[in-house]
Structure 1
Amino acid sequence: MATSTGTISTSAGPLDVATLVSQLISAESQSQLTPLTTQASSYNTLISAYGSLKSAMSTYQSAIKAMTSASFSAQKSSVSNAGTGSNLTTDPFSADINGDDSTKILAQKIQSAGISSGTTFNAGDSIAIKIGTNSPVFVTLQANSTLAGVRDAINAGKTGATASIVTDGAGDHLVLESNTGGTANTIKVTANNSLSGFFYDPSSSTPSTMTQTQAPRDATKAASGNYAVAVSQLAQAEKLSSASIAPGSTFDNGLLAIKTGSGSTTIIKPTTNTLAGVRDAINSSDAGVNATIVSDGTNDHLVVTAKNSGSTNTIKITGTENFAVFNSDPSGTVTSPNVASGQTYSAGNLTLKVGDSSFNIAPVANGSGNIDLTQVKLAINNANAGVTASITNDGSNDHLVLTPTGSSATAAVSLTGTSDYAGLSMSGMGQLLKAQDAKLSIDGVNVTSPTNKVENVISGVTLNLSKVTTSADNFTLNISNDTSGITTAANSFVTAYNTLAKAVAGMTAQTPSTTLGQANTSAPLASESSVQTIMSQLRNTLFSTVDGGNGINTLSDIGISFQKDGTLALDSTKLSTAATNNFAGIANLFAGTDPDPTNTTSSKNGIVTKLQTLMTSLLSDNGIIATKTSGLQASLKINQDRQTAVQSRLSNLKDAYTNQFNQLNLTLSSMQSTQSYLTQQLANLAKSSG
């Protein structure tokens, strides 16, 4: 019987599992993950943009903080000389304006009487503190307290004053200082029961138990005007130089005692016996002097200089034994040890040394045939050695006193005696510079100063003296309002805002498309209402009204206005006119402050004052930028969590697809084996049938 010769065939082969799975996962990712990554990119772009906005605003805040009241009320000084002649002095002094403490605002400070350590104040007792026109703030002790507890309770009570404790011989004192300076912010204190010792009210008929230790003061400035100034003497620090000291000399015995001005005496015992050791010991002490070594090419000299200038900062050095060579008296004289009245001399020699010159002194006997202290004095004076000898008496003993004169006035002096004259031996350092004050006259009033920096003689003015003037000079110091400084400050104010405005404009710009059908290009913050709110608040602040300017109440009054592009422009002519006519009004417009510092919205606050408050708020941790950034970061976190979940789901799906297609490959492989078997069997059947 004939059989069929048909065959079974298939072209199916192993599936490309990796490609199939990749394509399927890519499709899933496109629909689930891509929208999330696109959204995350948008969040990151906004977070970065708000970071740039914060940076630009921080720069503006720094610029505003640098603008103080002084920026808009600056004064200037000039010095002129109306003297005649060819030898006039040039630049004998300069002036700094409003740089000292005399014009700065001060807060009132009051202090209680002394309180014994360990004194207890009772729980439930109260103290009321009133600052200026503010309502009093009551502080009640919650438990029995020491003075430290009272202090802490006051500081925790936000009373407008800061409490502290000082201690002296009378005991502990509670000190209260107003947190705000000025005469409008004085302190009044009332208390009850155990706290009743704290009372201060000068207007009350009841005597205050607390006393004022610092009077309140309003900020002022130097008085404009002309001042005639003449300088007759510059201040200088005393400087001493020892006699010549041979290199290698040692100082093995004795010590030094140094006293500067009214300070205490410092005892110095060098640990190294060389001249350098003496210098180092002096410099490491607290003697109020500096020591150096100067060489003349052959010998060394110890030079000692007072750290502070002024006539009261004289140097007195007393040396014993080897250190006697460093003796020095503020008078510039050298004084011998005690000499008994009627002392006579018959044997020995005297050698006088003035600087590097030596003189043999040979006293001649008097009419009685004796050589006494008077004959020694005469012999020294007749030697023309550059010193004048005199005799003083301290009530018990005589002293020979040597005073350098003329060209030897700054020389070191020593007198060395042998035998009978040994008791006259003495030495003293040369006085290179005498301690002296600066002397000057201002409008005919004589003034002295221990330094060449003369403060507070003219309120708000510090004079820096550098030269002595002469009778031919006629110097005038002029203090005037610095209208050019106002212009500089106003320009800085405008520039600072314009820098911010331009930066924000770049962050919010929308660029129209030039291609039909193509969308406009927008900067990251173009649609952010928060940015619009910030700029609106800034503009409102810039053109708010300030009280108390006597006709200058807004920026437009001095020539500052907005332009069409949102930046500010300055009319220099209008500003100059305003500065000339109402200098104080401009300072008030920019930097005025309400006496109550807590009233941050007061119309008495100047534009800069208001801007500083606004910028602090905008850039605070709970300000609009921080809040917006935190919201974006929270949204980004949610997005990232969703991405993680989707990626996990896609990973699981990839595994499932891979398993399914691998199983299908196994099935296909099995089918192919079956096909081959059946084909072979059919072929064999056909052969057997033939």
Structure 2
Amino acid sequence: MATSTGSISTSAGPLDVATLVNQLIAVESKSKLTPLKNKESGFNTLISAYGNLKSALTTYQNALKGLTSASFSSQKTALSNAGTGTNLTTDPFSADINTDESTKVLAQKLKSAAFPTGKVFNAGDSIAIKVGTNQPTFVTLKADATLAGVRDAINASKAGVTASILTDGSGDHLVLESNTGGTANTIKITANNSLASLAYNPSGTPASTVTQIQAPRDATKAASGKYSIGVSQLAQAAKVSSAGIAPGTTFESGVLAIKTGNGSTAIIKPKTNTLTGIRDAINASEAGVNASIVNDGKNDHLVITAKDSGAANNLRITGTGNFSVFSFDPSGTVTSAGVPSTQTYGAGNLTLQVGGKAFTINPTDLDNNGSIGLNDVMKSINNANAGVTASITTDSNGDHLVLTPAGTDPVALTGTDSYAGLIGSSMGQLSKAQDAKLTIDGVSVTSPTNKVTNVISGVTLNLSKITTAADNFTLSVTNDTSGLSTAANTFVSAYNTLVKAVSAMTKQTPSTTKGEANNSAPLGAESAVKNIMSQLRSAMLGAMGDGGAMTLSQVGISFQKDGTLALDATKLTNAGNKNFEGISQLFSSENGVVTKLQKLMDNVVGDSGVLSTKTKGLQASLKVVTDQQTAVNSRLLTMKDNYTNQFNRLNVTLATMQSRQSYLTQQLAKLSK
């Protein structure tokens, strides 16, 4: 059948076919199409209104997410110095309350051994899950089930855990996570028959193939109190500098190796044999150091700094050949090769380079034993007052001349003739690898960095200066009631903003004309909206927090006649002073009001939530209406064609009759003559 276009042309005649047809179609359209268009408009209005509602609820949800446990249990620190004298140190450190992921409560998580995909567990077999001190929940398989079926049965039982499946190269694992965090909420599992391998006892007896992949942890809170703190040493990273090297110097032979702390030794392989090439090769390596070049106006110095501070991260640099000028021992000393204890020296001399100064050493028989030995060399160097102290050590390789610099300058020793074997060099030690040292209430503490974490539970100390004997610093850690007030105001404000937005979307204005219906906002008659707001209100009523110890009204938050919340700041402050921890539990514990509201909002605005379901229903209804409109329009076009054809035929008939009437009139007129 051909599709009607409603565009058949009209024939000439006494009738205005187009006008007649349009009037008839207009009547049909008004009775059939207009109601559908009104429905379409109504559905579109509701869909748009629910979109606005979702936006308002999402804004509220985001505000709730910003209210973490730290928001309602914030603490603050203050530093004071009760010392006396004129040498008092200005604040030698700052203190931060830890609020990162490491302080949050964690739930226990268990993982089973691997099962082959498709593994079947038998109907009638059972598993019992006990969380903390709760009574165990028994789960019995009603039919044979795969691991996915076991997972679904556990989740349906509401046993206080969430079950999921993790698949890796070894197979499928059942993962159970406690729904409640903290060390008091560990999981115990007993199971029988085909489910027996899922048994788990926190005590470890009997042995189980189920393993703990996340240990439970209680939230870490800073330990309130006053702490006497002194800082005797700051942590620093090892930093060394070479002697001056003339620009353009090349390094043709040898090897350079760098070792930081207990790390592996990195062999440096420069792409070019210049000092720049050495620097770039060091920085490209995994030696745990940063290298730079500093020019003193005449010569270049290679400066090497360990990336990590602390005594354990000392530097050991070994250079051979041309690279020997970059050698450095963690002790900061220069040690010669071993020589026999009977070694004597004759012709030649020594050159000792300390920083930019060179000293010529001509050893003599200072021991008056008829020859020049290593002991005479040592004394001659010390008598030169060159800024180093010479000593002798002995090991299985013989006697060694050891030079210990008094300062930070690089040291190099070279010899001629009989002294040619007494050579060695060391980069200058600009800073020594060392730990921070401090005392807290008289207890000695060391730290590899100046950021000292959790020595005081929940507090990070940022060290910057050393204290003096005249100092008497006290760190006070107290509950921050002002932070609590800020969080409570945010809680109240976010809810009130939502209430006002929803009120505007559901407002009904009484008509001023008798007999006319009230003017209603788009969502005024929507029961789903009323249910959502009712659930939110209900979630804020009654005792809450772990143990259900407090209510919102006890901390100064109450509902007003218009449905909004009001905050009594004085009552909140008094409650915080009396039971700060209780207020934190009221808002942010597992059973706290913020947690309850967050879960409720997830159910409302989530992808499968109430609003999504409602919107999908409206969109489905809208499609039905638009499909009906399409069908009606098609029928109206067909009707228009039919009417046009009918009136065209009538027009032809009338035109014929008019023609015959004219003919008869003419004939009758002739007869009368």
TM-score, length-scaled by structure 1:
0.84
Query: SS at 1:271's partner residue?
Result: coil
Per-residue CA deviation, residues 127-156 of structure 1 (Å, 9 max, x unaligned), is 76643334266799x99xxxxx99997899
Query: SS at 2:401's partner residue?
Result: strand
2:570 corresponds to 1:584: no
1:383-532 pair list within 5 angstroms: 383-405=384-406, 409-513=407-511, 520-532=518-530
Kept in 1: contact 2:260–2:306 (CA 8 A): yes
Deviates more, 1:528-537 or 1:79-88: 79-88
Deviates more, 1:432-441 or 1:183-192: 183-192
User: Could you say if the C-alpha distance between residues 117 and 524 of structure 1 is closer, same or farther in structure 2, counting changes exceeding 3 Å?
Assistant: closer
Shift of 1:333: 1.0
Aligned to 1:620: 606
Shift of 1:668: 5.8
User: Could you say if the C-alpha distance between residues 413 and 134 of structure 1 is closer, same or farther in structure 2, counting changes exceeding 3 Å?
Assistant: farther
User: Could you say if the C-alpha distance between residues 667 and 272 of structure 1 is closer, same or farther in structure 2, counting changes exceeding 3 Å?
Assistant: farther
The one-letter amino acid of 2:645's match is N
Give the whole-Å Cα distance in 2 for the aligned partners of 1:242 and 1:155. Answer: 68
Kept in 1: contact 2:392–2:400 (CA 8 A): yes
Aligned to 1:574: 571
Kept in 2: contact 1:509–1:526 (CA 8 A): yes
User: Could you say if the C-alpha distance between residues 213 and 560 of structure 1 is closer, same or farther in structure 2, counting changes exceeding 3 Å?
Assistant: closer
Kept in 2: contact 1:258–1:267 (CA 8 A): yes
Shift of 1:667: 5.2
Give the whole-Å Cα distance in 2 for the aligned partners of 1:198 and 1:625. Answer: 39
Give the whole-Å Cα distance in 2 for the aligned partners of 1:471 and 1:669. Answer: 126
Deviates more, 1:416-425 or 1:259-268: 416-425
Kept in 1: contact 2:242–2:428 (CA 8 A): yes
Aligned to 1:351: 351
Per-residue CA deviation, residues 627-654 of structure 1 (Å, 9 max, x unaligned), is 3222211211111011000111111122
Per-residue CA deviation, residues 242-278 of structure 1 (Å, 9 max, x unaligned), is 1112222222222211111111111222222222221
Per-residue CA deviation, residues 351-381 of structure 1 (Å, 9 max, x unaligned), is 2211122222222244345333223222322
Give the whole-Å Cα distance in 2 for the aligned partners of 1:592 and 1:606. Answer: 5
2:325 corresponds to 1:325: yes
Count residues in correspondence.
Answer: 647
1:42-57 pair list within 5 angstroms: 42-57=42-57
1:87-486 pair list within 5 angstroms: 87-99=87-99, 104-107=104-107, 130-132=130-132, 133-135=134-136, 160=161, 179=178, 180-189=180-189, 201=201, 208=207, 216-366=216-366, 367-405=368-406, 409-486=407-484
Query: SS at 1:579's partner residue?
Result: helix
User: Could you say if the C-alpha distance between residues 151 and 663 of structure 1 is closer, same or farther in structure 2, counting changes exceeding 3 Å?
Assistant: closer
Kept in 1: contact 2:120–2:147 (CA 8 A): no
The one-letter amino acid of 2:381's match is I
Kept in 2: contact 1:549–1:585 (CA 8 A): no
Deviates more, 1:395-404 or 1:40-49: 395-404
Give the whole-Å Cα distance in 2 for the aligned partners of 1:626 and 1:163. Answer: 25
Aligned to 1:654: 640
Give the whole-Å Cα distance in 2 for the aligned partners of 1:116 and 1:256. Answer: 49
Unaligned runs of 5+ in 1: 1-11, 144-148, 594-604
2:594 corresponds to 1:608: yes
User: Could you say if the C-alpha distance between residues 344 and 157 of structure 1 is closer, same or farther in structure 2, counting changes exceeding 3 Å?
Assistant: farther
Shift of 1:320: 1.3
Kept in 2: contact 1:131–1:161 (CA 8 A): no
Give the whole-Å Cα distance in 2 for the aligned partners of 1:555 and 1:219. Answer: 22
Give the whole-Å Cα distance in 2 for the aligned partners of 1:425 and 1:233. Answer: 35
Query: SS at 1:244's partner residue?
Result: coil
Deviates more, 1:219-228 or 1:314-323: 219-228
Give the whole-Å Cα distance in 2 for the aligned partners of 1:263 and 1:165. Answer: 35
The one-letter amino acid of 2:520's match is S
Query: SS at 1:33's partner residue?
Result: helix
Shift of 1:122: 11
Kept in 1: contact 2:147–2:174 (CA 8 A): no
User: Could you say if the C-alpha distance between residues 61 and 38 of structure 1 is closer, same or farther in structure 2, counting changes exceeding 3 Å?
Assistant: same
User: Could you say if the C-alpha distance between residues 520 and 650 of structure 1 is closer, same or farther in structure 2, counting changes exceeding 3 Å?
Assistant: same
Kept in 2: contact 1:102–1:459 (CA 8 A): no
The one-letter amino acid of 2:379's match is L
User: Could you say if the C-alpha distance between residues 126 and 369 of structure 1 is closer, same or farther in structure 2, counting changes exceeding 3 Å?
Assistant: farther
Shift of 1:613: 2.1
The one-letter amino acid of 2:400's match is H
Shift of 1:79: 0.9
Give the whole-Å Cα distance in 1 for the aligned partners of 2:236 and 2:107. Answer: 36
The one-letter amino acid of 1:80's match is S
Kept in 1: contact 2:409–2:428 (CA 8 A): yes
User: Could you say if the C-alpha distance between residues 625 and 268 of structure 1 is closer, same or farther in structure 2, counting changes exceeding 3 Å?
Assistant: same
Cα RMSD for the two superposed structures: 3.8
Give the whole-Å Cα distance in 1 for the aligned partners of 2:54 and 2:313. Answer: 55
Aligned to 2:65: 65
Query: SS at 2:188's partner residue?
Result: strand
User: Could you say if the C-alpha distance between residues 313 and 175 of structure 1 is closer, same or farther in structure 2, counting changes exceeding 3 Å?
Assistant: farther
Aligned to 1:596: none
Kept in 1: contact 2:126–2:138 (CA 8 A): no
Give the whole-Å Cα distance in 2 for the aligned partners of 1:332 and 1:427. Answer: 10
1:539-554 pair list within 5 angstroms: 539-546=537-544, 553-554=550-551
The one-letter amino acid of 2:346's match is S
Shift of 1:199: 6.9
Shift of 1:559: 1.3
Kept in 2: contact 1:237–1:307 (CA 8 A): yes
Unaligned runs of 5+ in 2: 1-11
The one-letter amino acid of 1:494's match is V
1:1-80 pair list within 5 angstroms: 16-80=16-80
Give the whole-Å Cα distance in 2 for the aligned partners of 1:261 and 1:214. Answer: 31
Kept in 1: contact 2:154–2:163 (CA 8 A): no
Per-residue CA deviation, residues 549-586 of structure 1 (Å, 9 max, x unaligned), is 79x62211111111222111111111111111121221
The one-letter amino acid of 1:342's match is T
Query: SS at 1:248's partner residue?
Result: coil
Kept in 1: contact 2:606–2:612 (CA 8 A): yes
Give the whole-Å Cα distance in 2 for the aligned partners of 1:176 and 1:681. Answer: 108
User: Could you say if the C-alpha distance between residues 175 and 221 of structure 1 is closer, same or farther in structure 2, counting changes exceeding 3 Å?
Assistant: farther
Shift of 1:228: 0.4
Kept in 2: contact 1:238–1:305 (CA 8 A): yes
Give the whole-Å Cα distance in 2 for the aligned partners of 1:480 and 1:670. Answer: 108
Give the whole-Å Cα distance in 2 for the aligned partners of 1:363 and 1:499. Answer: 90
Shift of 1:308: 0.8
Give the whole-Å Cα distance in 1 for the aligned partners of 2:642 and 2:38. Answer: 27
Kept in 2: contact 1:100–1:461 (CA 8 A): no
Q: Percent identity?
A: 64
TM-score, length-scaled by structure 2:
0.85
Kept in 2: contact 1:178–1:186 (CA 8 A): no
Give the whole-Å Cα distance in 2 for the aligned partners of 1:214 and 1:43. Answer: 49
User: Could you say if the C-alpha distance between residues 297 and 631 of structure 1 is closer, same or farther in structure 2, counting changes exceeding 3 Å?
Assistant: same
Give the whole-Å Cα distance in 2 for the aligned partners of 1:503 and 1:402. Answer: 80
